[in-house]
Copies of this chain bind each other. A is one copy, B any other.
């Protein structure tokens, strides 16, 4: 057995957003194209950074870092349709390393059925592309503020 189902880990912080599936996000099979979820997750992650300020794109730019996604893993369970309201729950998973791990649960709002479960991993790099193996200062501050660590 090659593929394993994604398992959710305990979340230190969570956030939720709602979105509507766009016509342009739906494919010939009349369901949300599997690639459309990448933007759904990013919407969730960006809003997480507004709810818990300090880990959004604007923060990275301001502090001179970027936080590229180095792994994206999505399990698709059921299908969203055009016009469906969805809820994206973004869960911050604490990790010792200098990385940002988020897990996501995408629900169909009408019945809260799970449509997808996902995980992204981001590293920190300087604008020049140098990977940071220790937490950058802004991330140390963020952890202190929101996690008391």
Residues of A within 8 A of B (CB): 1-3, 5, 9, 20, 22-24, 26-31, 33-35, 38-39, 42-43, 46, 56-58, 66, 68-77, 79, 82-83, 93, 95, 97, 101, 119, 121
Contacts and interface: CB of A to CB of B under 8 A. Distances in A.
B68 A79 contact: yes
Copies of this subunit = 4
Contacts of A42: 22-24, 35
B82 A75 contact: no
Contact of A66 (B5, B29, B39, B57): B29
Contacts of A2: 9, 93, 95, 101, 119, 121
A35 B96 CA distance: 27
A85 to B, nearest CB: 12
